[in-house]
Amino acid sequence: MNRIDYWGGCLLGTMLLFVSCDKDIDSFEEQNHFVYFDMPYMLDEYGRKTTQRADSISYSFELDDISVTSYTFKIPVNAISLAADKDRKYKVEVVADETTATDSDWDKTSIANTVLKAGEVFDTLNVKVFRTESLRTEWKHITFRIVENEEFGVGYNNLLKAKISFSDQLEVPEWWPNWQRYFGDFCREKYLKWREIYYLGADPNKEQWGPNTGKPLYWGNMPYYYRYPSWYPTTFMFVKVLKQYFIDNEVYPDGDTSKPRVTIPY
């Protein structure tokens, strides 16, 4: 993810300081009103906020149940302004040459009525995106830009754009090919159920061989010597639990009953 340097904070109150790329406003004046995207701060390796902002936020449907068909991004919007006693509209547009999502991928009415409510200096831009088939093979992107209108000028120039990215790509884990003899062909239903069954902490044993020696065994750290079930009895006990689940429950890939039922060969 790219980063944007944040050029100082703003003090929201009766007087707000404002610094932009190409204009300086030494002090807030009542007739001046500005708005910008309050993108989240990046975190450092210790989880602490830095002085750098993210220029985008992302979401993947990959681990959601197939019944989940949409997701709503929440993009914070701040005003450098005194609160008003009326609703005030601000304007957001799509940057076409930085957007790959089509009309079917998101709800365009999300930006049709962007309003800062009376008494507020904060708002949230709620952008609803849909879990379309095309997301299975690619990431989609939408870049929004705040533009000036009759109510608001534009705020920090480096915070006038906000990019969202979304996908439904479920990548095959690196360990799956080695375990295919036990799990069969990869599919979303098997993988998600395995993550649910063989979660971190379910197996009290730790890896005894290979580069991850001493680390807990779970779906994200599968046994190194996969060819020897007798070396990992607990792991293979959970594999049998997975197999039994698909015996007891009729599950089809993506819920499509025209496809072969999901089964585990081991």
Residue-by-residue pLDDT tens, the chain, 266 positions: 444 433 333 333 323 333 333 444 334 445 568 999 999 888 877 778 898 888 899 999 988 888 899 999 999 999 998 899 999 999 999 999 999 999 999 999 999 999 999 999 999 999 999 999 999 999 999 999 999 999 999 988 889 999 999 999 988 999 999 999 999 999 999 999 999 999 999 999 999 999 999 999 999 999 999 999 999 999 999 999 999 999 999 999 988 999 999 999 98
Euclidean distance between CA atoms 49 and 29, whole angstroms? 30
In whole angstroms, what is the distance from residue 219 CA to residue 202 CA?
10
Tell me, what's the pLDDT at 186?
95
What's the token pair of residue 160?
């006038």
Which CATH code fits 3-167? 2.60.40.2030
pTM of the model: 0.69
Kindly report the number of other CB atoms within 10 A of residue 89's CB atom.
12
Which phi and psi (to 5°) does residue 239 adopt? -60, -40
- Spans of all domains in the chain: 3-167, 176-255
- Give dist(CA 104, CA 148) in Å, integer: 28
Burial of 4 (0-12, 13-18, 19+ CB in 10 A): middle
Nearest of 132, 158, 219, 120 to residue 20 by alpha carbon: 158
Half-sphere exposure of 169 (CA within 13 A, CB side): 11
User: Starting from the edge strand earliest in sequence, which strands make up the sheet with 122-130, in order?
Assistant: 122-130, 70-80, 34-37, 153-154
